[in-house]
Amino acid sequence: MAFPFDPSAYGRSIADIYDGTVDDLPTEATVEQLHLLAGDGPVLEFGIGTGRLALPLAARGVTVAGVDGSPDMVKVLRSKPGGERLQVVVGDFATTRVDGEFSLVALTTNTIFALPSQDAQVRCFRNAAAHLRPGGRFVVEAWVPDPAAFYRGSALRLLALGEDVVVAEAARISPAEQHMTTTKVRLTAQGVRLLPANHRYAWPAELDLMARLAGMEREHRWADWHRAPFGDDSRAHVTVYRLPPD
Ligand SMILES: C[S@@+](CC[C@H](N)C(=O)[O-])C[C@H]1O[C@@H](n2cnc3c(N)ncnc32)[C@H](O)[C@@H]1O
């Protein structure tokens, strides 16, 4: 069963403050690895958002295109230096096609889980493979599900505590459906913002199987963007899938 799905919803609630919420993410290390994986490119980013990764990658001389479901996020991207030059298509990355053949398709920041069902995620893997040239790569960054972190299906976590910002997250899971609904509550001097999101989560092995269905094999799995080894205690993964060279 899928949850109600609107690919523009996430951006509608967060686009104006998104860039202020990602200070903790390892942007430089991510861009470095994307560049290494892509070689000369070109790169297609599913869920390109406000260009956090795409713009620094393009500044390194790599051609970058993107798909995003949110006109609000794309508007922020377009307002930045270099943002007008990127080819960006507004649509659902499970099905939207972009002209060209790419050396790398990237889907970072847990965004594979924004797709509402296993079917949609399988379609996304197939769509990534369809954009790759022989030997091309699809890199996915996602958290590892941890149902033990929930008490009777619910969890309340403090994500950030500073003098000018506090972020807490309320979450509920349905283990039967592999769904998690969350709302982050962000408190700043500007007021309170509620940032809701739905996730259809999957363990790494299920994603590996989706890659196989799409004709790709796993090449690497790391615990982070610094290529730390993935192991029993890893709470996230960066996985690289590859199409056969021909
Ligand atoms: C967490 S943000 C990540 C943005 C960017 N990749 C980054 O790392 O900063 C997720 C992005 O994916 C987009 N998105 C979510 N689901 C989508 C879908 N099914 N199709 C297209 N875009 C989607 C959202 O609009 C948002 O811009």
Q: What is the pLDDT of residue 23?
A: 87
Which H or E run includes 100? none
pLDDT value for 41: 85
N residues, the chain:
246
Report whether residue 127 contacts ligand 1, using a CB cutoff of 6 Å: no
- Tell me: do 228 and 112 sit in the same domain: yes
Q: How far is the CA of 8 from the centre of ligand 1 (A)?
A: 9
| Residue showing tokens 């199987």 | 209
Please report the atom of ligand 1 found closest to the CA of residue 47. 12
Domain CATH code at residue 27: 3.40.50.150
Report mean pLDDT in 10-residue bins for the chain, 246 residues: 78 90 94 96 96 98 97 97 96 96 98 97 98 98 94 94 95 95 95 95 98 98 98 97 94
Pocket test for ligand 1, best of 111, 117, 200 (most atoms within 8 A of CB): 111
Instruction: Say whether both 28 and 125 belong to one domain.
Output: yes
Residue 2 confidence (pLDDT):
62
Asked whether residue 2 is assigned to any structural domain, the reply reads no
Q: Which atom of ligand 1 is nearest to the CA of 5?
A: 19
Note whether 158 and 53 are same-domain residues.
no
Q: Say yes or no: CB of residue 49 within 6 Å of ligand 1.
A: yes
Is the same domain home to 193 and 218?
no
Ligand 1, atom 11, lies closest to the CA of 47
User: Are 151 and 208 in a shared domain?
Assistant: no
Nearest C-alpha to atom 2 of ligand 1 is from which residue?
A: 49
Q: Are residues 68 and 133 in the same domain?
A: yes
Examine the domain organization and report whether 172 and 53 are in the same domain. no
- Please tell me whether residues 15 and 99 are part of one structural domain: yes
Q: What is the pLDDT of residue 13?
A: 86
Whether residue 4 lies inside any domain: the answer is no
Range of the domain at 109: 9-145+201-242
Give the type of residue at 210: M
The whole-angstrom separation of Cα 193 and Cα 182 is 13
User: How many angstroms separate the alpha carbon of residue 153 from the centre of ligand 1?
Assistant: 26
**Which residue has a Cα nearest atom 19 of ligand 1?**
92
- At 153, which CATH number? 2.20.25.570
Domains of the chain: total: 2
- Is 68 touching ligand 1 by the criterion CB < 6 Å? yes
Q: Where are the beta strands (DSSP E) in the chain?
A: 43-46, 64-68, 87-90, 102-107, 132-143, 154-161, 165-174, 179-188, 191-200, 217-222, 236-242
pLDDT of 70 reads: 96
Please give the pLDDT value at position 208. 98
Question: Is 114 near ligand 1, meaning CB less than 6 Å away?
Answer: yes
Residues 183 and 126 in one domain: no
